Structure 1
Amino acid sequence: MADTSLAVSPFSPTFVRELTPAAEKIALLYYLSYLCLGKFSKLERTIRTRAVETQTLFTYSDATMTKCVLTSDNLVNTLFPLLVKTVEKNKPTMAVKFLGKAQVWITDIITDVREIVKRYDAHNIDLATAASDVYQEKEETDKNIAKQDQELKGIKDALDSMKKLLDDKTKELAETEKKIISKSQEIQELVRSITQESKGLGVVAAIVPFIGQIIKSIYDAAKSPEQVAKLKALEAELKILSDEKSDLKHKQWQVQLQIIDQQMKAAKASFDRSSIPDPIYLPEVQKSLTIIRDILGELLNFWLKVRDLLVSLEQKTFAGEDFLDEFDTFKDEFIDSIQKATEAWSSFAASCRSASVIFQLQNKDAYRFLEVSPSSLSKEQWQIQYTSVKEKLQKIDPTRNYTSPAIPATAIPATATPAISA
């Protein structure tokens, strides 16, 4: 049988909820940087260059997500049906062959995801350099400015206070996250002990590395009321912690909005005095890019885990000596497991498809502001755009359950990874 100890992964098909606000925030922060620094031609070119690099990065990210969709679809439409046939025909060697070919797909995706993660790391370094260049230019320009006016000093005092408040909220959030991880591990340990008692559930746990998709089956497999009660209690505790985390993230975002508002005021005060404002938004762009990079890093670890699970399934189930001996009792459970796995992987493919569309839409529409130089705007036009971006930022809520954007018919190509042939 497959080793169910490998069947736990923190990655979830709901990752798109984190991706959407991060991608939207990046474009708006670039827009603010462009407005506040675009008055200076050298810095305008710097912002434009980095924004275009981000667009290119999103194009590669879209392609990577598309490949995840195609491979997930191939698991559902090709591999799983073939595995069912091998069980029905009692041909474990054929199953091993199919699993080996599937591992080639997974290895190919691992290479692509690892490469895109490297691109995000390199791009963040470029952004850090861009921020440094702005500071250097600012230092040279500000040599002729003797003092800050009282309004700017008051803004900075308020900003320091809000940053301290943000640090406090961030620490609270980190502590809650630790509790969630700890509670999740308790659930995983309990689930692992339950799945080890069921061969069929052991197989589906090996094929589906996210517990939420098979939780009903886990309850059905529990051997005692004590197991069910304990699992429900742990889930309830995890729900409380998750709600607490959501509330803290909302409060953290509200403080961030206040900080951004104060930063806008400081930037405008400097702008009106013909001084180069601090590149305050570029580090924020880096933070949002890091969120996307970390999501892709989790995706990389997820596919590495899937590859290990397929190897385990191949070696410890179909290649095991007990396959033929236990075939009669194994057959129905295995087919039922494949059906559950199909539903879970279809959900994962849908999330990857939504993520692909997010990258497409951001790449297509969100950077049109680059078509107009801020230096060509009148003071009134500049203020209108500035206010508009601020309002859009305020509408972003990282705790909101974003619905998937409409998926164009041409968003995902019809062709898929070459199917496995018998």
Structure 2
Amino acid sequence: MMLRDLTNSPEFVEELLPAAERTALLYHLSYLCLGSFPKLERILRQRAVENQLLFVSSETLLLKCVTTSEDLVSALLPMLRLSVENNQTILAGRSLEKAKAWITEIVDRVNAIIDRYEKHNYNVASSTSDVITEKAETEKEKVETSSEIKSLGEIVNKFQDELNKIFEEIGETETKIQEKNAELQNHVSDICRKSHGLGILAAIVPFIGPLIKSIYDTATAPGATAKTTALTSELSRLSSEKSDLRNKDWNIQVQMTDIQLKLATLKMQEGKIPDPVHLGEVQMCLSQIQKILIQLQKFWMSVGELLDSLKKKTFVGEDIVAPEMNENTKSFFLKSIEIAEEYWKTFGQSCLKAKDIFSLQNKDAYKFLESSPPVDPVEWKQEYESVMEKLKNISPNPLCEANNAAITE
């Protein structure tokens, strides 16, 4: 079995959470900084509502992932168990065909959502450009800039340079993780091809974690086990390195908070439009969500490929489900179904958690649009600081420890 594009952990979808939570808060900050300018307020309202509707669709998509996971656990896997126990190839084929239809529908839905995120991100970038243009127009007659604004701007630029470097390092580390992950997947695929029992498990369980665990449990071959250990250890090290970089990035952003608040306040006092820094951060969050949705799409496509392969195996010479199946093979298959049920339940729960976050965002996170930004400077500062405090409480690495445990278990 080829295991390309499969994820290590069924909780990978939970990486949506920090980006989803941050998006509305960043829109709120943008609204506070730019909403006192009528033209920009209209633009921000349009983008924020557009984002809210996109999150409604994201919630619906994740609910579909939840229900499909439940259907696999409650319908497909029990049918496969029954097929194996009673040697019924036709029943197995029909069940797999029905499951494939569910998955095809999800892949199409994810693809449509990805396109919408692409369009929305483009619209946010366009709005950022509009803000910059409007900013330039309003400052034509205000050439003089206070020394304090200049000083704070230089500090922000210094922080931004540091963030850009960290961003590049994170990208390089992610590339290394992808390469090492592909090497691990190919290694596990090779072992599964040589082991009938692991081959059956690979056909049923769409996550590499339990396959690695089975390699250790069965002690397939000393050399194979040693290489697996080396690869998983390297992946764990790279994941920790990425986590450290994310934390460093987050700490710098927190340090920028007070500077950006002071800078925005001073510029508005002088009648100037603050820089649209928070809209840029919105784009980064949208890109992160889009990237994870692409992972989700690849995941479901891979599951579909596994089911196709499994279906073919029920009608060829190496039948998994066949009258001549020996008890040992049958036992492997039934055990694999048990493992698959647990991992699909975990995946469904993770999708439900992400779905609930999107639901919460849709209901409460955009209430700030119901009124204009506070005119009173004290109220304005209190609201800004309240939003920033919520941002600080969002963990940049919600799954780091879980992922490391899944890789090394």
TM-score, normalised to structure 1, is 0.89
Determine which of 164, 171, 174 is the counterpart of 1:174.
Answer: 171
AA of the residue aligned to 2:146: D
Superposition map of 1:40-79 within 5 A: 40-79=37-76
How far 1:8 moved relative to its partner?
Answer: 5.4
Match of 1:236 in 2: 233
AA of the residue aligned to 2:378: E
Match of 2:96 in 1: 99
AA of the residue aligned to 2:334: I
Superposition map of 1:131-170 within 5 A: 131-170=128-167
How far 1:401 moved relative to its partner?
Answer: 4.7
Q: Secondary structure at the match of 2:61?
A: helix
**2: CA distance, partners of 1:38 / 1:327:** 69
Do the aligned residues in 1 keep the contact of 2:11 with 2:346 (CA within 8 Å)?
Answer: no
**2: CA distance, partners of 1:229 / 1:179:** 21
Do the aligned residues in 1 keep the contact of 2:4 with 2:182 (CA within 8 Å)?
Answer: no
**1: CA distance, partners of 2:274 / 2:49:** 22
Match of 1:321 in 2: 317
1:352 is the counterpart of 2:336: no
**2: CA distance, partners of 1:9 / 1:322:** 24
Determine which of 123, 126, 130 is the counterpart of 1:126.
Answer: 123
**2: CA distance, partners of 1:16 / 1:91:** 35
Match of 2:113 in 1: 116
String of CA shifts for 1:139-172, please: whole Å, max 9, x gaps. 2211110221111111121122212211222222
Match of 1:378 in 2: 376
How far 1:186 moved relative to its partner?
Answer: 3.0
AA of the residue aligned to 2:318: D
Determine which of 70, 78, 83 is the counterpart of 1:81.
Answer: 78
**2: CA distance, partners of 1:67 / 1:51:** 25
**2: CA distance, partners of 1:196 / 1:161:** 53
**1: CA distance, partners of 2:186 / 2:193:** 11
Match of 2:15 in 1: 18
Match of 1:255 in 2: 252
Count of residue pairs brought into register by the alignment: 399
Match of 1:414 in 2: none
Q: Structure 1 residues 284, 383: CA separation in 2 closer, same or farther (over 3 Å shift)?
A: same
AA of the residue aligned to 2:385: T
Q: Secondary structure at the match of 1:5?
A: coil
1:369 is the counterpart of 2:364: no
Of 359-368 and 173-182, more deviation after overlay is shown by 173-182
Do the aligned residues in 1 keep the contact of 2:239 with 2:400 (CA within 8 Å)?
Answer: no
1:217 is the counterpart of 2:176: no
String of CA shifts for 1:106-138, please: whole Å, max 9, x gaps. 111111111111111111111122212222222
Q: Which runs of 5 or more residues in structure 2 are unaligned?
A: 402-409
Do the aligned residues in 1 keep the contact of 2:121 with 2:283 (CA within 8 Å)?
Answer: yes
**2: CA distance, partners of 1:76 / 1:86:** 15
Identical-residue share of aligned pairs (%): 46
Of 293-302 and 256-265, more deviation after overlay is shown by 256-265
Q: Structure 1 residues 7, 156: CA separation in 2 closer, same or farther (over 3 Å shift)?
A: closer
Determine which of 389, 392, 398 is the counterpart of 2:390.
Answer: 392
Q: Which runs of 5 or more residues in structure 1 are unaligned?
A: 404-422
Do the aligned residues in 1 keep the contact of 2:15 with 2:398 (CA within 8 Å)?
Answer: no
Do the aligned residues in 1 keep the contact of 2:14 with 2:350 (CA within 8 Å)?
Answer: no
How far 1:19 moved relative to its partner?
Answer: 1.5
Q: Structure 1 residues 349, 100: CA separation in 2 closer, same or farther (over 3 Å shift)?
A: same
Match of 1:339 in 2: 338
AA of the residue aligned to 1:387: E
Q: Structure 1 residues 60, 41: CA separation in 2 closer, same or farther (over 3 Å shift)?
A: same
Determine which of 189, 203, 206 is the counterpart of 1:206.
Answer: 203
**2: CA distance, partners of 1:308 / 1:230:** 27
Q: Secondary structure at the match of 2:139?
A: helix
Q: Secondary structure at the match of 1:276?
A: coil
Do the aligned residues in 2 keep the contact of 1:16 with 1:354 (CA within 8 Å)?
Answer: no
Q: Structure 1 residues 105, 84: CA separation in 2 closer, same or farther (over 3 Å shift)?
A: same
Q: Structure 1 residues 42, 402: CA separation in 2 closer, same or farther (over 3 Å shift)?
A: farther
Match of 1:292 in 2: 289
How far 1:185 moved relative to its partner?
Answer: 2.7
Q: Secondary structure at the match of 1:209?
A: coil
Q: Secondary structure at the match of 1:179?
A: helix
